[in-house]
Amino acid sequence: GEPVRAEGELRFDVRVENLTGHKFPTGFPARRAWLHVQVQKAGEVVFDCGGYDRSGRIAGDDEPLAHEHRTHVTAEHEVVVYELVAADSDDQPTTQLTRMARRAKDTRLLPRGWRRDGPNAAHTAPVGIGNDFDFTAGGDTVSFAIPYGVFAPNAQVIAWLRYQPIAPHWVDALRAVDDDACRTFVAMYDQ
């Protein structure tokens, strides 16, 4: 719906729908997607949540588990990231496939046909979504409430769902590996 101005805030919802037959993103666990939401006034960006730099890092703290799942966003650093973060046997985040012992976070968007009583539901259920009751099969809705102060009438909301086939912290883990294939991959990634 349209943004609403109330109690000194600009309020709006962003709905993300998964139209695939599997979780999104899926496959190799280095993949992630996130909401990038801007509010613009006369072409000038006055709010930017989920912006990123040239290296592909999301603005602010971009480490594993840094982005907790959110149902409400009130500030630029509160980025909504859809991803799987694995933990090792010491309960530390890991990017090494052979050390992955459990899902510490799995906020990937569920496919439309997923059911809590379906086959393998215990292994495919989201992890770390808290009380997000609208994180359901087929999508998620995130509410934004931004202090209105500087916005004045005519503010425009623009939302993107950004996607990365490999997040920068996965590549960072390969930088110290003494292997020609790793060095080649990192060099290609950095290009």
Per-residue model confidence as pLDDT tens digits over 83-103:
999 999 999 999 999 999 999
- Rounded Cα gap, residues 27 and 111, in angstroms: 14
**Are the CB atoms for 109 and 139 separated by under 8 Å?**
yes
pLDDT the model gives residue 150: 56
pTM given for the model: 0.92
Is the torsion defined by CA of 70, 135, 8, 162 positive or negative?
Answer: positive
Is the omega angle on the peptide bond into residue 119 within 30 degrees of 0, that is, cis? no
Q: What is the pLDDT of residue 55?
A: 87
Cβ density class 11-28: b for 16+ within 10 Å, e for less = bbebebebeeeebbbeee
Give pLDDT < 70 ranges for the chain.
Answer: 1, 64-65, 149-153
